[in-house]
Amino acid sequence: MLTGIHFLLTYQCTYECDHCFVYSSPEAQGTFTLEKLQNIYRELPKIGSIEWIYFEGGEPFLYYQLMLKGIEIACDMGFKTGIVTNGYWSTSEEDAKLWLKPLKDLNVADLSISNDQYHYDDVKINPAYFAYNAAEKLGIPTGTICIEKPVVNSEKDDTQEKGKPIIGGNTRFRGRAVDKLTSDLPKRHWKEFTECPHEELIDPERIHIDAFGNVHICQGIIIGNAWKTPLSEIVKNFNPDEHPVLKYLIKGGPALLAEKYGIKSDESYIEECHLCYLTRLSLLEKFPDHLAPKQVYGIN
């Protein structure tokens, strides 16, 4: 059941991380306006099952006042709210409290702060550290998102004995990660990737919506455009069997998607998302309403 709406409040970000799913950067286009947020909010009572509203991006604190207003509306409508941020705005613990106190007053129920090597190298006393401590002291429920860089595990286990290398870390190979991080990693035959291991594609619990109106079931896989069709209708009429990408991902994972659209039979990939993303990239022109926006595929 759909319980979560995740606003990609902006694709802009202070950073340009190698692992970013959506190619965020300081130059990225696509930021919500208050009117666009309100358009979505008006639809939510018609869906009926929504409990959570998240603000993420990009970096949502870049549009702090809009984020705050969006959280206030969500709060008034009885939704729980969460935020995903890299904490760039936190110059000290004391100053971070200035940013966080209004969020505490609005009962924000989850503040997830990215703090890993992609964002801050090995610097431990960093903006995310200040933000985390400040949130804890204010009593805002807070967690850290730590994405580990990929490594090839050296220890042998059953899987390796069958000839499948193990990639450690929790980086997923889609978006910019495919451009930046894949070159030295071991790969496996495309036919091995027979399911999507990360997203619930038949009956999603959450969807992401960007400022272009795209409703994402996984970043870059679109089930409708909320500026063309009311969101409640997109959700009500969602039928993955009629979606030219999802129907194959659900039946046979990225391998079936690649097979149906003619991938070369001798190609190898790191893991499921790597094959899925590159297959979709080759289908952008064929399915512009189902695979978008182009910038999430690194095309401006």
Q: Rule CB under 6 A: which residues touch ligand SF4?
A: 174, 196, 198-199, 218, 221, 249, 254, 272-273, 276-277
Least distance (Å) from ligand SF4 to the CB of residue 161? 25
Return the half-sphere exposure (C-beta side, CA atoms, 13 A cut-off) of residue 14: 16
Least distance (Å) from ligand SF4 to the CB of residue 105? 36
The conformational region for residue 166 under phi > 0 = left, psi -120 to 50 = alpha, else beta, is: beta
DSSP at 172: -
Residue closer to ligand SF4, measured from CB, 79 or 297: 297
- Alpha carbon of 108 to those of 42, 94, 100: distances in Å? 21, 19, 10
3-class secondary structure, 229: coil
**Residues contacting residue 30 through CB under 8 Å, at least 6 positions apart:** 8, 10, 11, 12, 210, 211, 212, 293, 295
Per the document, the length of the chain is: 300
Residue closer to ligand SF4, measured from CB, 96 or 196: 196
Residue closer to ligand SF4, measured from CB, 134 or 218: 218
Least distance (Å) from ligand SF4 to the CB of residue 220? 8
Residue closer to ligand SF4, measured from CB, 116 or 272: 272
Least distance (Å) from ligand SF4 to the CB of residue 21? 8
Residue closer to ligand SF4, measured from CB, 31 or 279: 279
Burial class (CB in 10 A: 0-12, 13-18, 19+), 35: exposed
Residue closer to ligand SF4, measured from CB, 25 or 279: 279
Least distance (Å) from ligand SF4 to the CB of residue 195? 8
Cβ count near 239 (within 10 Å):
9
Cβ count near 92 (within 10 Å):
12
Least distance (Å) from ligand SF4 to the CB of residue 147? 14
Residue closer to ligand SF4, measured from CB, 132 or 277: 277
- Alpha carbon of 170 to those of 86, 97, 151, 177, 198: distances in Å? 17, 30, 10, 12, 11
Residue closer to ligand SF4, measured from CB, 198 or 236: 198
Identify whether the C-beta of residue 142 lies closer than 8 Å to the C-beta of residue 155: no
Return the half-sphere exposure (C-beta side, CA atoms, 13 A cut-off) of residue 220: 24
The closest of 7, 6, 150, 16 to 66, measured between CA atoms, is 7
Least distance (Å) from ligand SF4 to the CB of residue 206? 13
Least distance (Å) from ligand SF4 to the CB of residue 260? 14
Output phi, psi for 254, to 5 deg.
-55, -30
